[in-house]
Amino acid sequence: MNNLLKLVGRWRVYVGIQNEASPEELVMVTKFIHQEFGAQLSLEEIEDCIQKSVTGKLGIDPKPYNSFSPLYVSTILNAFIEHRNKEVAEIRKLQEKWEQQRDEEYKRSPEYGLKTLSENIVAVFESVKQGKEFFDFGNVISKWLVKTKRIAVNDAERENAKEYANNRIEMERMAINNQLDKGIRKSLLVSNPEDNFETYYRDYFTQKYFSRYDKVEDILKTLSLKDVQ
């Protein structure tokens, strides 16, 4: 309060109040500022407000017209709060823009590619171990296995993969026929079983690779940035 009282006294001088303030007036204005604006403004911000007001940076008339009253100081302080909030909003916009650019750059980086690959590996591994159907969206996992030569694709394995895919297709075809027997229209079916041959073919190698490991950590610790470059 003492420092605020001194600041209020200097404020009167800055804005050109000629008559000498009475102690009662200074105390009244000081208490008013403390009660109404103490929770919103620090002492340093009030001093900044005074500087900005007398230099015309708040966009309002800073002249008190020889009346340094609570009405005058509240007008100035409210103008400063509005000015500060606009500055904060602009800073937040710039920060959000920077963060968005940073995120976009990260998504194009090998580090992000490695993070995405790791997440996909964990998801597929857990599905394989639980005997559930897994989805290799975009063939990310199967392409990685081939690219990094983690699986050996020879003639024998190609034949095994074809047999696996054909068996999956036959099972799917039987399921569809069963549904048709129950009166479900064929137009409601998502796709023909044969359309999934390539997916099932790739799934064979993916499933075989993950079945070698007991813990997904044993796979993850072998990863490096080279796997996504």
Asked whether residue 186 carries a pLDDT value surpassing 60, the answer given is: no
Average pLDDT over residues 102-112: 83
Q: What is the DSSP string of the chain?
A: -HHHHHHHHHHHHHTT--SPPPHHHHHHHHHHHHHHHTTT--HHHHHHHHHHHHTT-SSS----TT---HHHHHHHHHHHHHHHHHHHHHHHHHHHHHHHHHHHHHHTSHHHHHHHHHHHHHHHHHHHHTT-----GGGHHHHHHHHTT-S---HHHHHHHHHHHHHHHHHHHHHHHHHHHTT--GGG-S--GGGGHHHHHHHHHHHHHHTT-S-THHHHTT--GGGG-
Average pLDDT over residues 153-165: 88
**Using one digit for the tens of pLDDT, what is the confidence trace for 64-106?**
887 788 998 999 999 999 999 999 999 999 999 888 888 788 7
Average pLDDT over residues 134-142: 83
Name every residue whose Cβ is closer than 8 Å to that of residue 37 and which is 6 or more positions away in sequence.
Answer: 46, 74, 77
Asked whether residue 190 carries a pLDDT value surpassing 80, the answer given is: no
Q: Which residue has the higher pLDDT, 34 or 183?
A: 34
Alpha-carbon torsion angle 147, 151, 157, 163, nearest 10: -80
Q: Is the pTM of this model over 0.75?
A: no
Name every residue whose Cβ is closer than 8 Å to that of residue 62 and which is 6 or more positions away in sequence.
Answer: 15, 53, 54, 56, 76
Per cent of the chain over pLDDT 90 is: 25
**Using one digit for the tens of pLDDT, what is the confidence trace for 15-34?**
888 777 788 888 999 999 99
What pLDDT sits at residue 75?
A: 92
CA–CA separation, 57 and 60 (whole Å): 8
What pLDDT sits at residue 176?
A: 72
Tokens of 63: 């002249």
Per cent of the chain over pLDDT 70 is: 93
What pLDDT sits at residue 187?
A: 47
Asked whether residue 189 carries a pLDDT value surpassing 50, the answer given is: no
CA-based angle 195:152:213, to the nearest 5? 90
**Per-residue pLDDT band at 191 (split at 50, 70, 90):** low
**Using one digit for the tens of pLDDT, what is the confidence trace for 44-67?**
999 999 999 989 899 888 888 877
